[in-house]
Amino acid sequence: MPPRETVTQGNLSLSRPEIYYGEKESGYVIVNSREEEFDYPSGDQPVYVRYAGKGGIPLDSLLDKLAFAWQFADINIFISGQITSESRIQYRRNLQEAISTVAPFLLLDGDPYLVVADGAIWWIQDAYTTTNLYPYSRPLGSQFNYVRNSVKVVMSAYDGSMQFFVASPEDPLIQNYQRIFPTLFRPLEEMPLFLKSHIRYPEDLFTWQAMTLLLYHVESPADLYNKGELWSLPNEVVFETTVPMEPYYVNMKLPGEAKEEFVIILPFTPFERKNMSAWFTARSDGEHYGKLLRFDFPRVSQVDGPEQIEARINNDPAIAEQFGLWRRAQVDVLRGNLLVIPIEDSLLYAEPVYLQSQNIAFPELKTVILADATRVTMQPSLNAAVAALFGGAITTPVLPPPTTGGEEVVLPATLLTKLQEGLDKIGQAILQLQEELGALQQTLTQLEEAEAGSP
pLDDT in tens, 40-79: 888 788 888 899 989 999 999 999 999 999 999 999 999 8
Distance CA 111, CA 70 (A): 34
Computed on alpha carbons and rounded to an integer, the radius of gyration of the chain in Å comes to: 32
Distance CA 385, CA 396 (A): 9
Supply the pLDDT for residue 227.
78
Distance CA 248, CA 235 (A): 14
Residues (pLDDT < 50) of the chain are 393-420, 422-423, 426-427, 455
pLDDT tens column, 404-414: 333 333 334 44
State which amino acid sits at residue 273. R
Beta carbons of 200 and 149 less than 8 angstroms apart: no
Q: How many CB atoms lie within 10 A of CB 178?
A: 19
Supply the pLDDT for residue 1.
64
Supply the pLDDT for residue 414.
44
Supply the pLDDT for residue 239.
78
Supply the pLDDT for residue 396.
44
Supply the pLDDT for residue 98.
95
Q: How many CB atoms lie within 10 A of CB 313?
A: 21
* SS3 of residue 359 by DSSP: coil
Cα diameter, the chain: 131
Distance CA 311, CA 316 (A): 9
Distance CA 67, CA 81 (A): 17
